[in-house]
Structure 1
Amino acid sequence: MKKLNLLFIAALSMSSIMAQDITDAVRYSQDEVQGTARFRSMSGAFGALGGDMSAVSINPAGSSIFTTSHASISISNLGTKNDINYFNGSSSSSDSKFDLNQTGAAFVFNNTNPNSPWKKFSLGVAYDKISNFENSWNVRGINTNSNSIGDYFLSYAQGIRLDQMSALDNESLSTAYSEINRLYGFGNQQAFLGYESYILEPAMDTDDNTLYSSNIVGNNFDQGYLYAASGYNGKFSFNASTQYGDNFYFGLNLNSHFINYDKFTDLHETNSNAGSWVRDVRFQNALSTIGSGFSFQLGAIAKIDESLRAGLSYNSPTWYTISEETTQYLGTIRDEGGSNVSQIIDPYVVNVYPDYRLQTPSKITGSLAYIFGNQGLLSFDYSLKNYGNTKFKPTSDSYFSTQNGIISNNLKNASTFRVGGEYRIQQVSLRGGYRFEESPYKNESFYGNLNGYSLGLGFNFGNVKLDVAYDHAQRDYNQQLYAVGLTDAAQIDSRNSNFTLTLGFSL
């Protein structure tokens, strides 16, 4: 077979090379309750309170609530538990990991001019983890929907010329795998894997053939699927805030974001269906993602009276630039006249894709807090984020334009409610909180709402504070195996539990 080796095809648009989709948009647009133990023990309801390094990540005016300079460092243990169902199969998984999830300092400068309404200024720097991507599970079940991994490759192949998805005469599979991706893009590369592994059968053995069928047929497929992800989304923040008069606080954050995300999936499918030529398939994919971005935050806090405070903050969109690399492996076993014959495509090729840009949605947070003198407090935060405004860029790109339409049609405005309380007994503080996060998807059966609660203790030793917290959150969601073809999903009940320890210092 001879493929058309036209050099100008290398100038195909970026979006045809790697298929970003709605799951990427949601993954990098969400944030979690991370930060100090005090912050987490009250479920992050700190928008009107301030006086905590993680509160500054919600409302940048909060650093001017400090009466003296302050620093803190937090470590946590993240525990993840999953219950997974896939057709008639079920399994469970659990994992835990220690991590540094917050550190920072705010430096308070009092204005020595008694006639100025600007009472004090605060400058701060902080690191906060936004999201944790650590998760792993596996499940096995009998797919009775007649969906096979062959349908994945077939979805990409239909309509593609055979000479644009096959190896040249005397060309190695590794070279062909790399060159087809370079010349024609990701879709042709997936079709190549299906064809060269004998999963796909062309209607005619000619260069211009564009019609294919699968050599995997039948109604039942034994499928095992392994999912393993690691990494996090974090940010470094520069904070500046000020107190005006006795009752008003204003602040600004400039944030530098970074993404580090790795994912590995392994599908093993077998069948004994009559007429199925390919009996065994193992398909592995590894993705490595790094990204950087920028955002800003504006915030204000007002003391309505000695007990009641109100806060308002705006988080801008985050503008990311993201780079991705992938590797793949495909192995098949087919029946050749009663003998099993294997075909391995292990290219040892790292696919390096052009950078793409992602704009996540902005967020507005309104907050109220009531202070009971020195005895305690109650606090409430409400946030609103329109996930439908998430955009891949450039928006003029035809593929990205299609994906942005899918995002707009399937994602929605999502509200977050957080409530927290604290009760002080001399040097000891008792804390608790609850949070509810709406699903970003219009179809909540696909990706459910999140419910969480938290508890904590604080110990005040004067210039040193020690805080501990436990928080728990639960969400049900569906993990679709592939974006095309084999689109069946595993149903996952996910529970995350965290223990956090924070050491704080008055400087």
Structure 2
Amino acid sequence: MKKIFAIAIATLAVSTIQAQDINDALRYGQTDLNGTARFRAMGGAFGALGGDFSSLNVNPAGSVIFANNQVGLTLSNFNIKNNSNYFGNKTSENDNSFDLNQAGAVFIFENGSAKSDWKKFSIAINYENARNLDNSLFSSGVNRQNSIDNYFLSYANGVPFGNLNSFNYEDLFFNEQQAYLGYNSYIIDPLNTTNNNIEYFTNIAGGGNYYQENSIESVGYNGKLTFNAATEYKDKFAFGINLNSHFIDYRQSSSFFEANDNPRYAVGSTVDRVRFNNQLYTYGTGFSFNIGTIFKPTKEVRLGLAYESPTWYRLNDELSQRVVTSGYGLNATQDNTLYSTQITDPNVTMIFQPYKLQTPGKWTGSFAYIFGKKGLISLDYSMKDYSNMEYRPQNDFPNENRSMRNLLTTSSEVRLGTEYKIKKLSLRGGYRWEQSPYKNGNAIGDLTGYSGGLGYNFGSTKVDLAYAHAKRNYNLQFFSQGLVDPARIENITDNVTLTVIFEL
């Protein structure tokens, strides 16, 4: 006779062992090439040019290059395509969104004194979405080696069974929470039921044919509000400083499914269907600063040097997890017939203690050549050492910080831009190359991007339009440990940006 059993348990826990990993740090430590249409069209190569709202993020001295007071607004369309290859099975997923991703104002003050060498002063305020976190991913394929049980076993082995068999859920650490989920969903069981048992076995039948699907949907932003001041000295030097406030709001929903029809040899519960859902909400604020200078040795040549400090974030995580399993038990009778179907549904919600993340600083050197009033060419070179990223308190993240020091490296970035003017019409093009933050570039590959656009000057109003394309390959592990077989992702982004600028 068939029977159905249901278990539904919800708990709220504050964990002192964190779940953050290297991927979370890179999510907030990397930035996109967002900003105004002119900035996007020219590949972001504005470190020695200035005169654009988004150039302030590269070199804060650029605000003093503006000729007049201005207000600018930018609307962008983000299209992200992710092609996945998981054990030879290819899938594709698209995400499309619109965003008012930039708004700013700059005010120029001329020094009327002929005796002063300080000719000009500017102040500016600018908001940008430093990174659009909207994304969709789907991977599926047959894994002939590893099952989801490895994830739960990797956390469970070493955890006393008495901890999982108690109802003091608020006292459980993160690794115990994962073991609890695996145990209460019948995926794993203890070798014996004594409280001091620390060894577990799987209830998923072996055989090496596990059909697996993984779907990830994320929405959010990494916003940056910049307060800028700059000044010009003797028409040769410009100096600037930014004070930046950062805002993170990120939601990720992932759903993993596994099914197998492997032979069932063990007597007892055998799980052959697993649905493991995770919902992550991360929010917080941060602070950083920029300093920079622009030097004009001749009328045509400009040189720039700028430093962007690390961003010091204070973040909060909320993680909701749910496991649903189904399977079969074998009746220990003579005919060994199927007698029951079991369904489990444990839920765990964890609110982690606030933690801090320090992202790497960045140096940028720039060169630009101005061809009179006809056009220009500009080049930026940046360096960013991702191995300096760090979670804090350090005692709570020894393994994560060690991994970042050992696996990550200094990443170089090259941005090249050009502009040519035909009366009031401007034609623009750009190129961007960004090196992988990993020592092993297979984990995350290099990024290559191309862009182009145009602008028209109506006098007191300017309208700019840009299109940018970029591609990067990387490996995506569904889980941080246990089940770590990666899907190979080809990430392609296409961005259309429209900026309207009003001179005041």
TM-based fold match above 0.5: yes
Matches within 5 A, 1:87-236: 87-144=87-144, 146-166=145-165, 168=166, 176=167, 179-180=168-169, 182-218=170-206, 219-236=208-225
| Deviation of 1:434 (Å) | 0.2
Kindly provide the CA deviation profile for residues 8-30 of structure 1, in whole angstroms up to 9, marking residues without a partner as x. xx998x3x1x2211111111110
The aligned residue for residue 475 of structure 2 is: 478
| Deviation of 1:264 (Å) | 1.0
1:238 to 214, 227, 245: 227
Q: Does the aligned pair in 2 maintain the 1:53–1:71 contact within 8 Å?
A: no
TM-score, normalised relative to structure 1: 0.93
Write the letter of the residue equivalent to 2:134: E
Q: Distance in 2 between matches of 1:404 and 1:352?
A: 21
Q: Distance in 1 between matches of 2:346 and 2:160?
A: 23
Q: Does the aligned pair in 2 maintain the 1:56–1:62 contact within 8 Å?
A: yes
Q: Does the aligned pair in 1 maintain the 2:433–2:449 contact within 8 Å?
A: yes
Q: Does the aligned pair in 1 maintain the 2:184–2:346 contact within 8 Å?
A: no
Kindly provide the CA deviation profile for residues 226-273 of structure 1, in whole angstroms up to 9, marking residues without a partner as x. 111111111001000001111110000000001111111111111111
Work out whether 1:404 is the aligned partner of 2:401. Answer: yes
| Deviation of 1:339 (Å) | 3.7
Q: Distance in 1 between matches of 2:216 and 2:124?
A: 39
Change (3 A) 1:118 1:423: same
| Deviation of 1:506 (Å) | 1.2
The aligned residue for residue 299 of structure 1 is: 292
1:450 to 447, 451, 466: 447
Q: Does the aligned pair in 2 maintain the 1:82–1:92 contact within 8 Å?
A: yes
Q: Distance in 2 between matches of 1:471 and 1:234?
A: 20
2:315 to 314, 322, 332: 322
Which has the larger displacement, 113-122 or 411-420? 113-122
The aligned residue for residue 490 of structure 1 is: 487
| Deviation of 1:333 (Å) | 1.0
Q: Distance in 1 between matches of 2:485 and 2:222?
A: 28
Q: Distance in 1 between matches of 2:107 and 2:227?
A: 12
Write the letter of the residue equivalent to 2:209: N
The aligned residue for residue 7 of structure 2 is: none
The aligned residue for residue 367 of structure 1 is: 366
Q: Does the aligned pair in 2 maintain the 1:333–1:340 contact within 8 Å?
A: no
Q: Report the 3-state secondary structure (helix = DSSP H, G, I; strand = E; otherwise coil) of the residue aligned with 1:361.
A: coil
Q: Report the 3-state secondary structure (helix = DSSP H, G, I; strand = E; otherwise coil) of the residue aligned with 1:54.
A: helix
Q: Distance in 2 between matches of 1:48 and 1:358?
A: 30
Q: Does the aligned pair in 2 maintain the 1:452–1:474 contact within 8 Å?
A: yes
| Count of paired positions | 480
The aligned residue for residue 459 of structure 1 is: 456
Kindly provide the CA deviation profile for residues 370-419 of structure 1, in whole angstroms up to 9, marking residues without a partner as x. 00000000000000000000011122x0x412211110100000000000
TM-score, normalised relative to structure 2: 0.93
Work out whether 1:261 is the aligned partner of 2:260. Answer: no
Change (3 A) 1:74 1:198: same
Write the letter of the residue equivalent to 1:83: N
1:250 to 239, 245, 250: 239
Q: Distance in 2 between matches of 1:394 and 1:140?
A: 37
Identity %: 47
Q: Distance in 1 between matches of 2:346 and 2:221?
A: 29
Please provide the CA RMSD for this pair: 1.3
Q: Does the aligned pair in 1 maintain the 2:14–2:351 contact within 8 Å?
A: no
